Amino acid sequence: MWRFNRLMISVSTLILLSARWVTAEESLVVSWIETLKKQSEETMYPKTLGGRQFWGDVHHLHGWRIQQNIFTKHCRLIDPDDLRCTWGSFDDCRQALTKIAVEQKLPRMKGSAVILIHGLLQSSKCMEQMAVCLEDAGFTTVEFDYPSTQVSIPEAAQYLDQVIDSLEGIDQIHFVVHSMGGLVVRAYQMEFDDQRIQRLVMLGTPNRGAELADLSHQYWALRTAAGPGGRQLGTRTDGLIPKLPIPRYEFAVIAGSRGTPSGWNPLIPGDDDGTVTVASTQLEGAADFTTINATHSRLLWNDEALTQTVHFLKEGRLKPNDPPQPIRKTEEVNKRSKPD
């Protein structure tokens, strides 16, 4: 179909070139040509959903992404608007991206990059407001997608490692993570490392396991929908989370809360954001910690959380006018988690 459209475009263009003036009828032809051109391009480069649950990012360059299918293992190249430009092996997609970079004169990446990592059942789309704030602050953003319901947390970390390796020219790397995304970064540290990594901000990450996950895992349908990674979010002492290392780089924790003893969700103990308890977010070694009156998903759209995230990446503390509140010892964690 697209070949026919392109043929019609060429024929119509020749007709116009042979004319000595443009009439009203010819103006209609021009409009028709533009419509055919747009349809041809859409046929050549079909719109995708961006690879939300069945594709994982393995390469990034200025918004262009190479993704790998979780089932077939073949790759595809999609542009910043989620249009698929080619597919095949990784090498095929890499060669196509190299050609596009030359044609579009894409510069070499440089400076400080922030990798944004979403949580369970989410995608990089939920991090868009955060990305805007970080870009306004001068950071290059990398909105990382991984199939959160199809892979385990350590497997998600393997996708992350490939993306980090692809960031050639970047001098410093920071992470801003939401919920399970923070556990993906901790799992990354179990096997991989990169000397460029500097700082990390965790928002609503269940660093001690999620009590809500314990409840949902009692039901087969919810347990199945959560996938391998979701089933690792519980609070069991023999589970994955207690084995994850504390980040070696400077990090801060932002927890959503209601500021009451029962929080937003009466089904889980203590103050919470509706999904994760304040106590669960706290991780020893944090350079700074704070709570914000917001629910789990709204943390990513909360102005206070956005501002504090940017400030920590720049200055190493969440609030410009208040001293940091580090988490040093287990006793301090337990004390802070108790309501007044």
Each residue's pLDDT tens digit, 96-116: 999 999 999 999 999 999 999
Mean pLDDT of the region 129-143: 97
Q: Are residues 40 and 81 in the same domain?
A: no
**Residues 159 and 170 placed together within one structural domain of the fold:** yes
Does 66 score more than 70 pLDDT? yes
Closest alpha carbon to 143 in 65, 200, 44, 72: 65
Q: Would you give the distance in Å from CA 91 to the centre of its chain?
A: 24
Domain tally, the chain: 3
Structural domain containing residue 185:
110-337
For residues 180-189, one letter each, b for 16 or more C-beta atoms within 10 angstroms of the residue's C-beta and e for the rest, the string is bbbbbbbbbb
The pLDDT value given to residue 22: 42
Please, which residues have CB within 8 angstroms of residue 182's CB and are 6 or more apart in sequence? 117, 200, 202, 203, 205, 207
**6 and 151 belong to one structural domain:** no
Where does the pLDDT of residue 52 fall: very low under 50, low under 70, confident under 90, or very high at 90 and above? confident
Q: What is the pLDDT of residue 6?
A: 45
Mean pLDDT of the chain: 87
Compute how many other C-beta atoms are within 10 angstroms of the C-beta atom of residue 227. 18
By the 8 A CB rule, do 208 and 334 touch?
Answer: no
Q: Are residues 199 and 173 in the same domain?
A: yes
Q: Say which DSSP state 277 is in.
A: B
DSSP-derived pairing of the beta strands 55-61 and 64-69? antiparallel
Does the pLDDT at position 32 exceed 90? Answer: no
Q: 199 is written with which tokens?
A: 């700082």
More reliable by pLDDT, 22 or 327: 327
Question: How many other C-beta atoms are found inside a 10 Å radius of the C-beta of residue 73?
Answer: 9
**What value does the mean pLDDT take over residues 157-168?**
98
Whether residues 98 and 132 fall in one domain: no
Please indicate, yes or no, whether residues 142 and 246 belong to a single structural domain of this protein. yes
Q: Look at residue 330 in the predicted model and tell me its pLDDT.
A: 61
Q: Are residues 179 and 148 in the same domain?
A: yes
303 shares a domain with 207: yes
| DSSP at 116 | E
E-assigned strands of the chain?
55-61, 64-69, 75-78, 84-88, 111-117, 140-144, 170-178, 197-203, 250-257, 288-293
Same structural domain for residues 247 and 233? yes
The confidence score (pLDDT) of residue 44 equals 55
Task: Give yes or no: residues 29 and 123 share one domain.
Answer: no
Q: Is the pLDDT of residue 245 over 90?
A: yes
Mean pLDDT across the stretch 70-78? Answer: 96
pLDDT-based confidence at 7, cuts 50/70/90? very low
pLDDT digits (tens, 9 = 90+) for 258-289: 999 999 999 999 999 999 999 999 999 999 99
On whether both 96 and 116 belong to a single domain, the answer is no
pLDDT of residue 8: 45
